[in-house]
């Protein structure tokens, strides 16, 4: 049997459905790959090998009997550690939830299981999804498969690294301000942040409820389309879920080059020269094919970082108040006094970055500061949403680099939170506006590190993003892992 772990999602799906190999064959190949290489990458916090093998065996039996649950039956999928799986630890990479086993499935997980996907939890992440490098995990630092001295991005760095290193063909992450797209860019894969409300947040441990969204990561666009079609759709258990059906993959069609209006940004000093070069080279090729390039003014969006961090930290302060050592979280009670229980449980359970964001959010929500900070940030958010509406009256799609830099070295920015926050400068506005965006690999820098392109479309128009991504798939094919990890 050939090394099945080398296959991309679309080849795995084809091979399973043709009977070329079984889900058990595939899982055994992936397990061998993970056991051989994850000590270098540290993509997974833990994984229950017996349950994974058992799920693959059940899928194999269904296929042998001619009764697969769907065309996806037996396809493995990585799961970020903040998406609940029944009777599985969901720690959000935090000490405070170190031994928490979820009593229920997230809606996205229920939908995947109904189609026969084989779950492979728990992908490492920044604690409670707060970070841009997966260095804020309470347990381990995930490494970038292209260079293990560098970070994979965050907060879904474990999911992105697992896909890039061929541990799984597809994975779930969550995106609050770029946490699927940014690691996808830094790891040379596809990563989608769907329109807010199209994927249920039920069972996703909340960071910032008005911004969070579950999204898929994959080495090829077909994996993104298929998983999104499975996990999307209305959910009565999520009050923010849009009343729409699941995404229909048949809607995806390549767009006509001639007359396609593409919004582009002016390159600023924050964007590394190699990224700017690849971005402008792609734009030039698109124009040569007949696309119309439109310069857009992104000056208002330059304020998205402070707006985002005020809103996100305020919501995080509210959401994480439940982890108090009594209702949820580890209990530390050194003196028997209620106040000491709260203080000690939270001080020992939360890491520094989580504590920092809770403090920032609590301050912006406090009496005397609410209107000056949180209230103004919400008004500014409305302006950003209107700005996007204005853009899409002029263009069909917006193209930008996903990240201003390629993967930086482990420890390079941990001492300067502001520089770390700036890693999301090109992605946060999408979450504030609630529109969909996807990172697509389009090349490498002079160090061989991946460069991603962010494609943004109007709300509910993921089909345009997918169609365009298929059109430039030749660019993505140039981004392959170095021999050291192949």
User: What pLDDT does 331 receive?
Assistant: 76
**Strands (DSSP E) found in 124-200:** 170-175, 190-193
What SS3 class is residue 451?
Answer: strand
What CATH homologous superfamily does 4-257+397-476 map to? Amidase signature (AS) domain (3.90.1300.10)
Alpha-helix runs per DSSP H in 48-147: 49-64, 107-114
DSSP state of 212: -
Helix (H) or strand (E) holding 213, with range, is strand 213-218
Among residues 13, 29, 59, 80, the one annotated as catalytic is 80
Among residues 155, 156, 218, 403, the one annotated as catalytic is 155
What is the per-residue DSSP string for 18-38? HTSS-HHHHHHHHHHHHHHHH
Per the document, the length of the chain is 486
Among residues 179, 200, 229, 429, the one annotated as catalytic is 179
Task: Quote the longest CA-to-CA distance of the chain.
Answer: 72
Measuring CA to CA, how many Å separate 270 from each of 8, 147, 266, 332, 392?
A: 33, 22, 11, 44, 25
Please give the chain's pLDDT, 486 residues, in tens: 579 999 999 999 999 999 999 999 999 999 999 999 999 999 999 988 999 999 999 999 999 999 999 999 999 999 999 999 999 999 999 999 998 999 999 999 999 999 999 999 999 999 999 999 999 999 999 999 999 999 999 999 999 999 999 999 999 999 999 999 999 999 999 999 999 999 999 999 999 999 999 999 999 999 999 999 999 999 999 999 999 999 999 999 989 999 999 999 999 999 999 999 999 999 999 999 999 999 999 999 989 999 999 999 999 999 999 998 787 777 777 777 777 787 888 888 899 999 999 999 999 999 888 988 999 999 999 999 999 999 999 999 999 999 999 999 999 999 888 889 989 999 999 999 999 999 999 999 999 999 999 999 999 999 999 999 999 988 777 777 665 565
User: What pLDDT does 1 receive?
Assistant: 52
Residues 98, 92: Cα–Cα separation, whole Å: 8
Burial code (b: 16+ CB inside 10 Å, e: under 16) for 100-128 equals bebeebbbbbbbbbebbbbbbbbbbbbbb
Q: Which residues contact 228 (CB under 8 A, 6 or more apart)?
A: 192, 194, 199, 215, 216, 247, 462
User: What pLDDT does 347 receive?
Assistant: 85
Residue 118 phi, psi (nearest 5): -100, 115
155 is catalytic: yes
User: What pLDDT does 345 receive?
Assistant: 81
CB hemisphere CA count around 481 (13 angstroms): 20
Residue 3 phi, psi (nearest 5): -75, 95
User: What pLDDT does 281 receive?
Assistant: 94
Measuring CA to CA, how many Å separate 300 from each of 37, 46, 304, 433?
A: 44, 42, 8, 13
229 is catalytic: no
What SS3 class is residue 58?
Answer: helix
User: What pLDDT does 448 receive?
Assistant: 93
What is the per-residue DSSP string for 110-123? HHHHHTTPEEEEEE
Residues 272, 291: Cα–Cα separation, whole Å: 25
Per-domain boundaries in the chain: 4-257+397-476, 301-379
- Whole-prediction pTM: 0.96
């Amino acid at each position: 049997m050939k090394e099945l772990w080398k296959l991309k999602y679309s080849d795995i799906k084809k091979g399973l459905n043709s009977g070329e190999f079984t889900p058990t064959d595939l899982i055994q190949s992936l397990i061998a790959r993970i056991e051989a290489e994850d000590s270098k990458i540290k993509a997974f916090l833990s994984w229950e090998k017996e349950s994974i093998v058992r799920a693959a065996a059940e899928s194999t039996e269904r296929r042998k009997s001619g009764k697969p649950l769907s065309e996806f039956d037996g396809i493995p999928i990585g799961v970020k550690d903040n998406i609940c799986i029944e009777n599985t630890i969901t720690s959000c990479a935090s000490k405070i939830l170190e031994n928490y086993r979820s009593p229920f499935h997230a809606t996205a997980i229920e939908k995947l299981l109904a189609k026969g996907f084989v779950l492979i939890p728990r992908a490492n992440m920044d604690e409670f999804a707060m970070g841009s490098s997966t260095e804020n995990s309470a347990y381990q630092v995930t490494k970038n498969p292209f260079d293990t001295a560098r970070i994979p991005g965050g907060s879904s760095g474990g999911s992105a690294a697992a896909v890039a290193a061929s541990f799984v063909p597809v994975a779930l992450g969550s995106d609050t301000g770029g946490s699927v797209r940014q690691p996808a860019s830094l790891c040379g894969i596809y990563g989608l942040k769907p329109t807010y409300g199209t994927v249920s947040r039920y069972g996703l441990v909340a960071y910032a409820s008005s911004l969070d969204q579950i999204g898929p990561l994959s080495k090829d666009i077909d994996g993104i389309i298929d998983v999104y079609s499975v996990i999307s759709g209305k959910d009565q258990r999520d009050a923010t879920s849009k009343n729409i059906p699941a995404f229909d993959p048949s809607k995806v069609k390549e767009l006509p080059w001639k007359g396609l209006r593409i919004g582009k940004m002016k390159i600023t000093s924050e964007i590394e020269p190699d990224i700017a070069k690849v971005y402008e080279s792609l734009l030039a090729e698109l124009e040569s094919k007949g696309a119309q390039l439109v310069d857009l003014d992104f000056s208002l969006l330059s304020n998205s970082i402070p707006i985002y961090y005020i809103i996100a930290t305020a919501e995080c302060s509210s959401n994480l108040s439940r982890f108090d050592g009594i209702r949820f979280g580890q209990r530390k009670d050194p003196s028997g006094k209620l106040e000491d229980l709260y203080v000690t449980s939270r001080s020992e359970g939360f890491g520094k970055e989580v504590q920092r964001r809770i403090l920032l959010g609590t301050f912006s929500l406090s009496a005397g500061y609410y209107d000056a900070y949180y209230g103004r940030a919400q008004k500014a958010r409305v302006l950003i949403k209107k700005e996007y509406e204005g853009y899409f009256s002029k263009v069909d799609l917006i193209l930008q680099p996903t990240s201003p830099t390629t993967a930086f070295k482990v420890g390079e920015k941990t001492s300067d939170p502001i520089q770390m926050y700036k890693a999301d400068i090109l992605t946060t506005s999408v979450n504030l506006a609630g529109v969909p965006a996807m990172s697509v690999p389009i090349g490498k820098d002079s160090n061989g590190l991946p460069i991603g392109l962010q494609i943004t479309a109007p709300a509910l128009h993921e089909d345009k993003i997918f169609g365009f991504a298929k059109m430039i798939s030749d660019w993505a094919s140039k981004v392959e892992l170095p021999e050291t990890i192949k």
